[in-house]
């Protein structure tokens, strides 16, 4: 599935893009699942579990905001099947260099027009390694691969992903939670130059792969359209020592039989 150039790009620049990995019909099915998740959220008053998925909610101007749905596949079986799809798992397995992978994430991000949801500058290692033995880099290359399917087109004003090139080799920068929570794209106190960021424009169905040290962010959706993404994240077996919320989270997937 991957060329040697792809692998080099993943481990140096920090991300690769596989255009149109999922076709229009599959994207339509993913959207239907996201609509199901939105209906589930409508009946909820606060953050919590609902039918096997964990909804992180907020409010803006008295309206409910869906910040993210953790283990979205827990209540939407089609999303769970996408998480086990070889187009994602074979690439993750190759990058992690193991035939068995552990799926930690099946996460839905909505970014509805004007909802103010942002994901400030961060590395995913911040969310994997919470100290006290919660994470061990077993393969010496970060032991984690994040995949992100564009469910809608991602345009410059819909709150697209932004990556800092070559941050994959920087290791854990120990960025602060306040950076992640900040909607300030050009904060001068960051330990890198945010003006070097590359903005990713993508078509629905395009899929991004990036590692745990790649610095990235996405800011407010100021367009008139949704900017939904579906995230599946995989770890080298044994790297994770934390319990993730959601029914069936942290499942092991056998990708190749050796």
Ligand X SMILES: O=C(O)CCC(=O)C(=O)O
**Beta carbons of 70 and 231 less than 8 angstroms apart:** no
Q: Report yes or no: 183 and 117 within 8 Å, Cβ to Cβ.
A: no
Interface pattern 232-251 for ligand X (x via CB under 6 A): --------------------
Helical segments of the chain, H only:
4-12, 24-42, 77-83, 86-96, 125-128, 177-181
Distance CA 155, CA 140 (A): 35
Decide whether 76 or 147 has the Cβ nearer to ligand X.
147
DSSP, residue by residue, 57-74: EEEETTEEEEEEEETGGG
**Residue 18 near ligand X by CB under 6 A:** no
**Minimal distance in Å, beta carbon 169 to ligand X?**
18
Nearer residue to ligand X within complex by CB, 102 or 124: 124
Instruction: Determine whether 131 is exposed, middle or buried from the number of CB atoms within 10 Å of its CB (0-12, 13-18, 19+).
Output: exposed
The footprint of ligand X on residues 42-71 (CB under 6 A) is none
Q: Measured from the CB atom, is 101 or 105 closer to ligand X?
A: 105
Least distance to ligand X from the beta carbon of 257, Å? Answer: 30
Minimum CB distance to ligand X smaller for 163 or for 236: 163
Q: Do the beta carbons of residue 74 and residue 48 sit within 8 Å?
A: no
Q: Does 231 bind ligand X (CB under 6 A)?
A: yes
Total residues contacting ligand X by CB under 6 A comes to: 10
* Residue with Cβ nearer ligand X (31 or 254): 31
Binding mask 184-213 for ligand X (x = CB under 6 A): ------------------------------
Backbone angles phi, psi at 85, to 5 degrees: -70, 130
Asked if 236 contacts 98 with a C-beta cutoff of 8 angstroms, the reply is yes
The answer to whether 218 contacts ligand X (rule: CB under 6 A) is yes
Chain CA centroid to CA 121, Å: 13
Instruction: Report, in Å, the least distance between residue 51 CB and ligand X.
Output: 22
Binding mask 124-153 for ligand X (x = CB under 6 A): x---------------------x-x-----
Helix, strand, coil in percent for the chain, rounding step 5: 25, 30, 45
Residues 92-131 that bind ligand X (CB under 6 A): 109, 119, 124
Residue ranges that bind ligand X, judged by CB under 6 A: 109, 119, 124, 146, 148, 161, 216, 218, 229, 231
């Amino acid at each position: 599935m991957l060329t040697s150039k792809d692998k080099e790009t993943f481990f140096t620049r920090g991300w690769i893009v596989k255009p149109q990995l999922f076709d229009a019909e599959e994207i339509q099915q993913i959207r239907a699942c996201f609509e199901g998740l939105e209906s589930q959220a409508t009946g909820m008053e606060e953050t919590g579990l609902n039918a096997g998925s964990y909804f992180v909610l907020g409010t803006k101007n008295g309206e409910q905001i869906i910040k993210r749905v953790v283990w979205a596949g827990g209540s939407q079986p089609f999303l769970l099947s996408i998480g086990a799809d070889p187009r994602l798992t074979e690439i993750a397995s190759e990058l992690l260099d193991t035939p068995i992978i552990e799926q930690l994430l099946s996460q839905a991000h909505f970014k509805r027009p004007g909802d103010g949801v942002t994901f400030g500058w961060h590395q995913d290692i911040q969310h994997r390694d919470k100290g006290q033995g919660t994470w061990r880099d077993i393969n010496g290359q970060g032991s984690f691969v994040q995949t992100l399917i564009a469910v809608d087109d991602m345009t410059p004003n819909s709150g697209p992903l932004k990556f800092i090139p070559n941050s994959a080799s920087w290791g854990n920068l120990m960025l602060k939670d306040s950076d992640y929570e900040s909607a300030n794209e050009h904060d001068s106190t960051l330990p890198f130059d945010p003006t070097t960021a590359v903005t990713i424009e993508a078509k629905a169905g395009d899929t991004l792969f990036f590692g745990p040290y790649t610095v990235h962010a996405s800011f407010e959706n100021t367009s008139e359209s949704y900017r939904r993404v579906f995230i599946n994240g995989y770890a080298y077996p044994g790297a994770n020592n934390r319990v993730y919320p959601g029914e069936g989270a942290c499942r092991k997937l056998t990708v190749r039989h050796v």
